[in-house]
Structures are given as C-alpha cells and as structure tokens.
Structure 1
Amino acid sequence: MPADPVSKPRTKPPEERRDELMTAAERLFLQKGVELTTIEEITTGAGVAKGTFYLHFSSKADVLQALRARFVQGVLDGIVAAVEGRRQEDWRGRLAAWSMACATGYLDAAGLHHLAFVTAPPATREGLSRNILIDHLSELLAAGAGENAWSVGDPGFTAVFLFNALHGVVNQPGIGETPSDRAELLRAIEAHFLRSLGLPSGID
C-alpha cells in the first residue's frame, strides 16, 4: 500500500488569526500601555509573522478600535444569554437580568474598558447615547411596555438614561473590588433599574 501522504498544517481561518492578534494586543496594552507596545511584540505574542498584522489591521489604533467593539459585543452576548434565560412573560426578571449582566460585563473587564474608552477615548462620545447595548435595552423596554409590564413613554430616552446611570456607577474607581462589595453593588443596580420602571425591587 502506498504510504499516506504527509499532511500539511492547516492554515487558521482569518477570523481566528485576527482574534489571536487582538488577544495578544490586549494583553500587552494592559501590561505596557498602547504607546509602549510595538507591533512586533503583538505579532510575536500571537505567533505570526509581522506582515500578518497588516492583513488585518492598519495600526495599533485600529486594533484598539476592534478591542472596543469586541468588548461591547462581549457584554451584549452576556446580556442576551441572561435575559433569554428568563421566561418570556417574566418581564421583571428579564429587566433585572439585563441590569445584572450589563454591570457584571463591565466589572469583569474593567481594565480593558478603562484602557479602550478612558485612557484612549474614541473620537466622539456617541457611544454614550447610542450603542448596541442601549439599542437592546430600548427594545426590551418597548417590548415590556407593549405587554403592559411597565409604562414607558419613550423607550429610547429611558434606555439612554438607565445605561448611563449604570455606566457611571460601575466605572467609579475602586468600586466592587471585593466579593461582598460587588454583590451589594449589583443588588443596588438591579433595585434602581426596577424602581425606575415602577417595579418592586425587593429591597426596602
């Protein structure tokens, strides 16, 4: 029988290479800062040739923009999973799940959020008035209002208001650092979300 041909190493899909570059960059950015990190260090960390970087990104700023998008998408994925884990008719539970998952997503990646949005902020502040998290919350508020779970005259306005309140709280320096502090913070955020819609918070 003829010998089996030597199998060639399979090339990773472009999206996997891009993700590896982003992960390496995130680690280095958090360790050294964006300015002190070189593109060669990023490619070495990702285990690829330097030229591969430019197949996916034009600069470190481009990587940072991609990290912003990945951060927000990751928070949204956690929110969607938490909300969909509640019964469709449990509007109070779905709203509580939204607030808890959003806050947890920010707290779990506080270092990346600070790096990507605070130390190197985007060119505009549009993200605080429109982003995929606000859009999802607005849709949830509108759907709940349609089922008479609460009364909301302008779901979009209310979503911006609630998101920015949550965003401001979770981004305070040193907040939620211990498990007990985090648990208390999450309970308070949930209670304020529920009360804002006229729902019982469970906290006296």
Structure 2
Amino acid sequence: MKMTPLVTQLRAQCPTLGNRITVGIDVAALQADAALQIPCASITSLADAANNSTSQNLTTQPIRDRFEIVLALDASDATKALDLLHDLRAELWRALVGFKPDKDYSAIAYDGGELVSINSSRAFYRLRFFAEFQLGRNLPSQPAESWHERELDGLSSFTGATVRVDAIDPADPNLKRPGPDGRVEMTFSGDVTP
C-alpha cells in the first residue's frame, strides 16, 4: 500500500501530531533519537497476507496489507503520557478506520495495539491497521495483474466453432461394443460476432 495517502490523511485529521509524522522509521531508531520532537508518529508497512483464490479458472486472490503506526510520547509524567495516548489513539481511529487509501482497497480496519516501551522520559505505543484488495482484475478491459491474465490476454479471440457428431446409436454390428463408429452423422458451425 502506498504511504502518501496515509500521511496526507493523518496530517489533515490528527491536529495533535501536526506535521510530526514520518514514514519507515523503526522503533529502535525512534528510541535512539534524542532530538525527536514529541508527540510524533511513524508509519511503517508491515506485511501482506494472501488468501487462496476465490475462483477456479482465474486469479482472484484477496490480499491483506498490514501497516503500523508507532507513537512516541513524553513520559516524564506517566499519567499525562497515558492520557495523551488515549486521545491520540482515538484521533488515529477517527482518521483511519473506514478510510479507503486507494480505489482498489477496502476501508482500513484496526488490528490492535500494544505498549512497546515506557521509561522515565519516553513512551512508545504501536497500533496496527490493515486494508484489503484483490489480486486479479474484475473486467477483461482492465490491465493484467498476474502472469495468468497476461497469458490469457495473448490468446487469439474466440470467433466460432465447428462441431462434428459421431452418434453412438444405432451401434455398428461389426463392433464388439456399442460406441462411435467413426462416421460423422452431423456437422454444424457457429460464428461469434461481438
């Protein structure tokens, strides 16, 4: 998932954080940064989880993209820090839960949170979110999203069919078992016009 729509949404909807939102910084780097302006948040893409295809002859695979936001807070007064955490968590939920980061994604959902660390100066809290999309197109007019779709796009168009019928009955008395005798009794054709 692209991070730009998430950062834009958070900057617009989370006034407490202002512009103190970064992307891709891990918790260890945040904890080591002595000049960190707090409160602040860092967004990181975590993982994607794929489910089995929902179709038998096409690739339509649901994918869940997961990301996390780590909040860094001033913990010199633990009570104030945890109260601010409560407020910031609610701000993040209002900003993200139900927000669609892209037309191909479902609405973002909350996946849980946890305290990473707290000491006499700083507290770090992690919140996890996810949104889902489908790998595999819905319409043939859309661009291919998998090798299978690219292969199907390379096939020639179906223009028609000719069917030749070799009937089983009446059975040929020269054969030991009833079955087709190799003589075509009927032929028909059909053309497909778009």
TM-score (norm 2): 0.24
Higher helix share: 1
Greater strand share, structure number: 2
| Rg larger in structure | 2
> What's the TM-score, normalizing by structure 1?
0.24
